[in-house]
Amino acid sequence: MPDSAYFHRLFMATLKPFAALRPRPELASRICELPNDVMSPEEARQIARDNPLSFLHVSKPEIDLPAGTDLYSPAVYAKGKENFESLIAQGSLRQDAQAGFHLYRQVMGKHTQTGLVAVASCEEYLRGVIKKHELTRPDKEDDRVRHIETLNSQTGPVFLTYPARKAVDDFVAERTAGIPEIDFTAADGIRHSAWPVSDQAGIRFLEQQFAGIPCLYIADGHHRSAAAARVFQSRKGSGHSAFFLSVIFPHNQMQILPYNRVLKDLHGLGAQDLLARLERVFVIGEPGQAGPSARHDLGFYLAGHWRTLSFRPELASSTDAYESLDVTLLQKHVLAPIFGIEDPRTSKRVGFVGGIRGTAELERLVDSGDYACAFSMFPTGIEELMTIADAGGIMPPKSTWFEPKLRDAMFCHLL
């Protein structure tokens, strides 16, 4: 029988320092950008139009090619590589002389979160020590694989979380008390600051602390982590490909916003018939609030009016973490039986709107006639996510919207 030390080595989080490729501090505000998947090519083209340093020229290189170019054509990836190598050649992006960790703080209004920038183990991802809670789409996963392979680099981090530890919190507070090496406020008002941890004592401390943490959780970045693992497997675990770029935050600093739903039609129902069917599922409050204030409450927008929908207690009484999620209840009792949407992953009749856009965006989409009605959700809790991941479960699609988003190019991991 293996001893307990064996199991401790087998089930623990391995985080490693690395020699990051980073922007020159004075250029960071012009280079670093939101992830490629939170904007359309048209939005990206507008943002980067007058900024040749924008990392969107690397992460969404189709903006430098004729409109209508196939997003997955070889020319797109080749253009991204050309733009990436240009930023390096001109010295706008520079690699650290030695391996180290970094601390990355984001401030969004009254919310502050500080994470550890490191590389995490692809092998541990494949073994389930790094836990996921979402399924990935093959086309998006393939795109990320091609992006990594073409650039020979991971340029956007995976957003991980861990059960908070006071010793790590104290270390972070001490190390971030000084002047940050990179510090800028982006156009969206979010402040980004970074401090290096390059001394051996600091590196050793952080490695030892995380070696005592049994698992990590993917908050955002399922496609990036899956793609990194595929590259690791194709390269047979050689060199830096054995690890993937990550920023790891304590769970009690995570901010989850709702992921709202908009529906294209009422599935042949009139408004009064629809409300009558909804009344079997919910206690309906009129007039209602645009944003629900409690778990198991939803906002419902139809014909210019908000109603508050409260799941009937007998439907929301499950003690199972997955079954009691509001997104699960909505799918099980409303979207499938009332609207005929059996698979929200593939249905063209349902759209998803990140909570960062607010309930005004739901009103706009419905009032425009593009959609027939909208549901505003109460945010999923981080504890719910961790409980489901611990059980090996998969959450319904579009269950969580983490904010603020990590900026691409703040740190790159060269393979």
pLDDT computed for residue 12 by the predictor: 74
pLDDT computed for residue 345 by the predictor: 84
Predicted TM-score (pTM) above 0.95: no
The answer to whether residue 171 scores a pLDDT higher than 90 is: yes
The answer to whether residue 232 scores a pLDDT higher than 90 is: yes
Mean pLDDT of 19-41: 95
pLDDT in tens, 83-140: 999 999 999 999 999 999 999 999 999 999 999 999 999 999 999 999 999 888 888 9
The answer to whether residue 6 scores a pLDDT higher than 60 is: no
pLDDT computed for residue 136 by the predictor: 86
Mean pLDDT of 188-197: 97
Task: Output DSSP code: residue 395.
Answer: P
pLDDT computed for residue 66 by the predictor: 92
Query: Torsion over CA of 405, 258, 113 and 46, rounded to 10 degrees?
Result: 20
Q: How far does the chain reach from its first CA to its final CA, in angstroms?
A: 38
Does residue 258 have a cis peptide bond before it, meaning omega lies within 30 degrees of 0? Answer: no
Is the separation of the CB atoms in 156 and 37 below 8 Å?
no
pLDDT computed for residue 5 by the predictor: 37
Query: Torsion over CA of 25, 30, 36 and 40, rounded to 10 degrees?
Result: 170
Mean pLDDT of 200-218: 95
pLDDT computed for residue 134 by the predictor: 87
d(CA 73, CA 137): 18
One-letter amino acid at 81 equals K
pLDDT in tens, 145-158: 999 999 999 999 99
Mean pLDDT of 201-225: 94
pLDDT computed for residue 11 by the predictor: 56
Q: What is the chain's mean pLDDT, rounded?
A: 93
pLDDT computed for residue 302 by the predictor: 97
Percent of the chain with pLDDT over 90: 87
**Strand pairing category for 259-263 and 350-354:** antiparallel
pLDDT in tens, 244-297: 999 999 999 999 999 999 999 999 999 999 999 999 999 999 989 999 999 999
pLDDT computed for residue 201 by the predictor: 98
pLDDT grade for 236, boundaries at 50, 70 and 90: confident
Residue 352: Cβ within 10 Å count: 12
Mean pLDDT of 161-179: 97
